[in-house]
């Protein structure tokens, strides 16, 4: 009888040790997984915290740190055309002082246009003129090409006084200079630049270096609404087969008027002289075109 009791006591003791052993192992596994989870959580938090800190320092959407400091934004159409974050290439500008030198004038000019596209109450196209630049209509002596070139020229060179006002934000972005995008004018684009004071206004004038097939918003396309290859092809409407099509801009020029007290753009005049160069029927053609626009801006 005593032996049976001792056996039971021994069995209970062994079961208790097995239970304690299992408990210790379970506790170790729990502690292990807890430490792994904690380490992963801390690593994730440390990775995200710099972004949270940066966001906390940025002004809310639509706010500016100063009434005279322009922080650029990018229109939806510009984001699509550029395919990347274009805003990083648009510097902020202090409108409280007159820009000096090409770097400051280029940044000021682009910011003034982009600010108007983003915030102006309305813009008005007062004049839109087209002319035959330097009288050039060269068609290799071919009568058919000469006739087609003149027809193409007439389709673009229309003198208008439309006085069209755009007040819808989308319409402003699609029609105001530069059409459908924002200005990325840089000092490298400029041949000449100047800023003068006229009473309560700054007058900025820029003349660009010649360029070929510029992209909308860049080079000549930063100060005016350039003609695209597709627009030329649509105007020709398949009447002639064109090859080696080049839009050679010959020194685009622009003048803008800025209110000193607010930094608001009130007027802009642009002139885009160019040569349309192409090959057709084995002959080289060259047509001179010039486009002038005058806009006013209302706030």
Residue 175 lies in a domain: yes
Dist CA 79 CA 64 (whole Å): 21
Residues 49 and 116 placed together within one structural domain of the fold: no
pLDDT for the residue 31: 44
At residue 109, does pLDDT exceed 60?
yes
pLDDT for the residue 18: 54
DSSP state string for 101-118: HHHHHHHHHHHHHHHHHH
Residue 243 lies in a domain: yes
Residue 241 lies in a domain: yes
Pair 107, 146: CB distance under 8 Å: no
Average pLDDT over residues 121-138: 91
Residue 64 lies in a domain: no
Pair 250, 288: CB distance under 8 Å: no
At residue 112, does pLDDT exceed 50?
yes
Tell me the per-residue pLDDT of 8-46, one tens digit each, with 9 for 90 and over: 555 555 555 554 555 455 444 444 444 444 433 333 333
Average pLDDT over residues 92-108: 91
Tell me the per-residue pLDDT of 207-241, one tens digit each, with 9 for 90 and over: 999 999 999 999 999 999 998 777 777 776 666 67
Domain boundary among 58, 81, 102: 58
Domain boundary among 18, 39, 58: 58
Residues 131 and 1 placed together within one structural domain of the fold: no
At residue 81, does pLDDT exceed 60?
no
pLDDT for the residue 243: 81
Residue 200 lies in a domain: yes
Q: Exposed (0-12), middle (13-18) or buried (19+): which is 3, by Cβ within 10 Å?
A: exposed
Residues 14 and 162 placed together within one structural domain of the fold: no
Residues 283 and 193 placed together within one structural domain of the fold: yes
Number of H helices, E strands in the chain: 6, 12
Residues 202 and 283 placed together within one structural domain of the fold: yes
Counted domains in the chain: 2
For tokens 């002139």, the residue is: 271
Dist CA 52 CA 219 (whole Å): 37
At residue 125, does pLDDT exceed 50?
yes
pLDDT for the residue 84: 36
- Take residue 246 and report the two structure tokens written for it: 């080049």
Residue 10 lies in a domain: yes
Residues 46 and 97 placed together within one structural domain of the fold: no
pLDDT for the residue 40: 36
Which DSSP category does 209 fall into?
P
Domain boundary among 13, 33, 58: 58
Residue 164 lies in a domain: yes
At residue 165, does pLDDT exceed 90?
yes
pLDDT confidence band for 71 (50 / 70 / 90)? very low
Tell me the per-residue pLDDT of 190-210, one tens digit each, with 9 for 90 and over: 999 999 999 999 999 999 999
Domain carrying residue 14: 1-58
pLDDT for the residue 88: 38
pLDDT for the residue 69: 47
Least confident of 17-21, 219-223, 271-275, 295-299: 17-21
């Amino acid at each position: 009888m005593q032996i049976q009791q001792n056996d039971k006591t021994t069995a209970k003791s062994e079961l208790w040790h097995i239970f304690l052993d299992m408990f210790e192992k379970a506790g170790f596994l729990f502690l292990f997984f807890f430490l792994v989870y904690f380490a992963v959580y801390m690593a994730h938090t440390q990775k995200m915290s710099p972004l949270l800190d940066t966001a906390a320092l940025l002004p809310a959407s639509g706010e500016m740190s100063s009434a005279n400091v322009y922080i650029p934004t990018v229109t939806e159409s510009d984001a699509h055309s550029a395919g990347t974050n274009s805003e990083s290439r648009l510097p902020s500008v202090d409108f409280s002082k007159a820009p000096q030198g090409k770097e400051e004038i280029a940044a000021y000019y682009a910011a003034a246009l982009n600010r108007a596209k983003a915030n102006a109450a309305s813009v008005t196209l007062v004049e839109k003129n087209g002319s035959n630049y330097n009288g050039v209509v060269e068609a290799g002596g071919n009568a058919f090409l000469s006739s087609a070139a003149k027809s193409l020229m007439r389709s673009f060179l229309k003198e208008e006084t439309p006085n069209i006002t755009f007040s819808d934000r989308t319409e402003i972005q699609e029609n105001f200079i530069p059409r459908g995008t924002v200005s990325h004018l840089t000092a490298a684009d400029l041949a000449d630049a100047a800023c003068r004071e006229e009473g309560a206004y700054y007058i900025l004038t820029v003349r660009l270096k010649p360029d070929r097939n510029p992209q909308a918003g860049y080079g000549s396309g930063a100060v005016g609404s350039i003609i695209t290859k597709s627009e030329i092809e649509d105007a020709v409407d398949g009447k002639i087969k064109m090859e080696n099509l080049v839009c050679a801009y010959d020194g685009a020029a622009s003048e803008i008027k800025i209110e000193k007290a607010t930094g608001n753009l009130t007027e802009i005049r642009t002139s885009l002289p160019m040569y349309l160069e192409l090959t057709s029927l084995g002959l080289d053609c060259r047509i001179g075109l010039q486009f002038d626009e005058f806009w006013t801006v209302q706030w």
